[in-house]
Chain A
Amino acid sequence: DSGVTQTPKHLITATGQRVTLRCSPRSGDLSVYWYQQSLDQGLQFLIQYYNGEERAKGNILERFSAQQFPDLHSELNLSSLELGDSALYFCASSVGGRADTPFGEQFFGPGTRLTVL
């Protein structure tokens, strides 16, 4: 158990809908990362928040957005869903904001499996 929690574990929805994925980081971690894992794209970095502010952006679609709240939990919002958005979405957290530092080790949650029908 990494200490990172994600809800829900599974989500099934229809095309065109909007969903919200939730992540609670490990106690004391200020940084939250979102990743998407799909069969065709592999594991891709989406976005990072550090202490409530957006820190880095990866291959995140405009239909997707995220935020980090004062209690440091984060939500990833996916809207106008398409079949191709079906994937496993991981949240990771770290103490620091940079992966290339001793405090940047990322701990991953169990993921949310999104199925768009």
Chain B
Amino acid sequence: AQSVTQLGSHVSVSEGALVLLRCNYSSSVPPYLFWYVQYPNQGLQLLLKYTSAATLVKGINGFEAEFKKSETSFHLTKPSAHMSDAAEYFCAVSDAGNMLTFGGGTRLMVKP
């Protein structure tokens, strides 16, 4: 069975600082991995996805994530946080074909 763990339900950074949101997954087969962002009162928007091609994946809004099989991790980073990045971020895995299994989410707060 697949599962996702996001370490830290809340992360606070200063504007301009590095953003690092952690995601570890469990999967019995090579997975597809995703990061979604949810802004207040909105649906989920895909930031980026790993599909077994390049291990470093670039997404929208300056975010990127690196797939590390040995660590079963897919951490999300952004070099410099903007106020507009404040939102909830979800890591998800799919190895069963149809469904996405989501982590518990990390709320990112950006301080001016």
Count of chain B residues with Cβ under 8 Å from any Cβ of A? Answer: 24
Binds B, one of A61-69, A71-79, A105-113: A105-113
Q: Tell me the residues in window 55-112 of chain B with beta carbons closer than 8 Å to chain A beta carbons.
A: 90, 94-105
Known contacts A42-B104, A42-B105, A104-B94: A99-B42 contact under CB 8 Å = no
Residue contact B105 to A43, C-beta cutoff 8 Å: yes
4 nearest CB pairs, A to B? A56-B98, A99-B94, A108-B43, A43-B102
Name which residue of chain A comes closest to B49, CB basis.
Answer: A105
Q: Smallest distance from the beta carbon of B103 to chain A beta carbons, Å? A: 8
Residue contact A105 to B46, C-beta cutoff 8 Å: yes
Q: Tell me the residues in window 2-51 of chain B with beta carbons closer than 8 Å to chain A beta carbons.
A: 31-32, 36, 41-46, 49, 51
13 residue pairs A–B, Cβ–Cβ below 8 Å: A33-B98, A33-B99, A33-B100, A35-B100, A44-B102, A45-B100, A48-B98, A58-B99, A90-B44, A99-B99, A105-B46, A110-B43, A111-B42
Count of chain A residues with Cβ under 8 Å from any Cβ of B? Answer: 27
Name which residue of chain B comes closest to A110, CB basis.
Answer: B43
Contacts of A100 in B (CB 8 A): 31-32, 51, 94-97
